[in-house]
């Protein structure tokens, strides 16, 4: 249950320590109205985070089990200029984890979004949580209204909790074949997607062509096992839909740390499905997200191979070179991680395989994964050419090509 609590150590971190009370609302978690989950209550619970002056601390113990969490706020267009950290208590051992920093902005540009939020983080089976919110290292502190902690239980998979083998997505017909063969992709049914969460029909890129692939990481934690990856996907799906108000999971495809590929947003893996992964550039791109945080961890060679194979196949469907560049039209004014800015409608040149940070002010896909984009491009080109040169059974390897992003064309 949520309770009145004080976490005294917060003062040492420069976060104001508060006594906070959470009244039991519907289903015993959070409250009514804005504090309640957006769609359904069976797999998510919420609790508001009161904020006074320069920080907030929320502590909940003896909660119903959860395995994923995130922090959300009222305005999907607002940004969180603060440091958000969480720690959780493991079920069974009652052992508290270390503090984990949340990625402060998961705004990928879904038009139906009803809330903004951090990226969700997988924490494993847990029954207690603490979250602290304080200034960033440079002293910035600006919080959006309606800050709220959201706990997610991904469930056993499917609307009825059905279990079974992991089927592959539909095979491609001869007329749909690309230069590179299609890799094995676990279907939504295979990872247990609850289709009742996403009843709306899929949408497709207005131009009917994928011009670039955007590489992401989901951030958060790398502690999941590969057997848990389907549950991680179900958690992300539930968070995107139930908490942020999106129509479906945001990414077109996902990859676990063992290299298994998964179908993301519905609509057909062989089609140009419109997703919500790259703000301002969703209408011309396809997004591939690697499960985990690759800021300080180098992705395994199997991950690089899988991303490369998928990118080679997807771009090859539309005659796009994986080592080339393409011009994308900005659907919104923006700024990227390197500080480049542009206006809505600007024409920008991107590598056909690039990182999320190239088109948005985010650290995604993490330093270590971003550094391997040249390797991914080289391997994708080899796959497209029908060779295995550049593939590796080991870890990541360096490649000479850079990740340069051209400034907007005038």
Band the pLDDT of 340: cuts 50, 70, 90: very high
Cα–Cα distance for residue pair 128/91, rounded to 1 Å: 8
Mean pLDDT within 388-399: 42
Q: What local confidence, expressed as pLDDT, does residue 60 receive?
A: 64
Q: What angle do CA 189, 213, 158 make, to 5 degrees?
A: 15
Band the pLDDT of 44: cuts 50, 70, 90: low
**How confident is the model over 123-170, as pLDDT tens digits?**
999 988 888 888 888 888 888 888 888 899 898 765 433 344 455 655
Among 100-104, 229-233, 390-394, name the most confident range.
Answer: 229-233
Q: What local confidence, expressed as pLDDT, does residue 103 receive?
A: 84
Distances (CA, A) of 83 to 10, 58, 102, 347: 13, 14, 8, 34
- Retrieve residue 381's tokens: 């080109």
Distances (CA, A) of 204 to 125, 170, 256, 265, 322: 36, 18, 25, 11, 22
Band the pLDDT of 49: cuts 50, 70, 90: low
Greater pLDDT, 394 or 291: 291
Cα–Cα distance for residue pair 210/279, rounded to 1 Å: 15
Contacts with 93 (C-beta within 8 Å, 6 or more apart), sequence order:
none
Q: What local confidence, expressed as pLDDT, does residue 240 receive?
A: 94
Contacts with 354 (C-beta within 8 Å, 6 or more apart), sequence order:
212, 213, 214, 215, 373, 403, 405
Greater pLDDT, 7 or 43: 43
Contact criterion met (CB below 8 Å) for 88 and 114: no
Cα–Cα distance for residue pair 65/63, rounded to 1 Å: 6
pLDDT of residue 18 exceeding 80, the answer is: no
Side-by-side strand order, sheet with 353-355: 261-263, 253-255, 285-290, 212-217, 353-355
Burial classification of residue 125, based on how many CB atoms lie within 10 Å of its CB (0-12 exposed, 13-18 middle, 19 or more buried) = middle
Least confident of 4-8, 87-91, 334-338: 4-8
Burial classification of residue 233, based on how many CB atoms lie within 10 Å of its CB (0-12 exposed, 13-18 middle, 19 or more buried) = buried
Band the pLDDT of 273: cuts 50, 70, 90: very high
**How confident is the model over 162-186, as pLDDT tens digits?**
344 455 655 544 334 457 999 999 9
pLDDT of residue 345 exceeding 50, the answer is: yes
Tell me 243's DSSP state. Answer: I
pLDDT of residue 341 exceeding 80, the answer is: yes
- Retrieve residue 114's tokens: 């009803």
């Amino acid at each position: 249950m949520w309770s009145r609590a004080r976490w005294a150590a917060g003062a040492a971190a420069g976060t104001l320590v508060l006594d906070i009370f959470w009244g039991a609302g519907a289903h015993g978690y959070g409250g009514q109205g804005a504090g309640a989950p957006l769609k359904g209550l069976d797999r998510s619970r919420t609790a508001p985070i009161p904020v006074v002056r320069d920080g907030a601390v929320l502590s909940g113990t003896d909660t119903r089990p959860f395995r994923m969490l995130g922090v959300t706020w009222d305005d999907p267009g607002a940004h969180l200029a603060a440091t958000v950290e969480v720690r959780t208590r493991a079920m069974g051992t009652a052992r508290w984890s270390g503090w984990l920093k949340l990625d402060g902005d998961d705004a990928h540009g879904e038009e139906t979004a009803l809330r903004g939020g951090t990226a969700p983080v997988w924490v494993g089976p847990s029954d207690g949580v603490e979250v602290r919110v304080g200034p960033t290292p440079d002293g910035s502190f600006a919080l959006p209204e309606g800050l709220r902690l959201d706990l997610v239980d991904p469930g056993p998979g499917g609307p009825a909790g059905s279990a079974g083998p992991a089927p592959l997505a539909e095979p491609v017909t001869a007329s749909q074949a690309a230069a590179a063969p299609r890799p094995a992709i676990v279907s939504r049914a295979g990872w247990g997607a609850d289709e009742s969460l996403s009843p709306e029909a899929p949408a497709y890129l207005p131009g009917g062509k994928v011009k670039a692939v955007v590489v992401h990481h989901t951030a958060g934690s790398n502690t999941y096992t590969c057997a848990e990856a389907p549950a991680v996907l179900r958690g992300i799906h539930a968070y995107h839909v139930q908490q942020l108000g999106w129509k479906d999971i945001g990414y077109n495809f996902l990859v676990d740390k063992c290299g298994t590929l998964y179908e993301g947003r519905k609509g057909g893996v062989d089609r140009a499905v419109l997703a919500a992964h790259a703000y301002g550039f969703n209408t011309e791109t396809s997004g591939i997200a690697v499960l985990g945080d690759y800021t300080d961890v180098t992705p395994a060679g199997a991950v690089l191979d899988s991303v490369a194979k998928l990118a080679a196949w997807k771009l090859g469907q539309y005659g796009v070179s994986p080592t080339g560049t393409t011009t994308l039209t900005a659907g919104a004014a923006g700024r990227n991680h390197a500080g480049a800015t542009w206006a809505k409608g600007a024409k920008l040149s991107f590598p056909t395989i690039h990182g999320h940070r190239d088109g948005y002010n985010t650290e995604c896909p993490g330093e270590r994964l971003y550094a391997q984009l040249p390797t991914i491009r080289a391997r994708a080109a080899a796959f497209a050419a029908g060779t295995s040169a550049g593939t590796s059974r080991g870890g990541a390897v360096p490649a000479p090509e850079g990740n340069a992003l051209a400034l907007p064309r005038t």
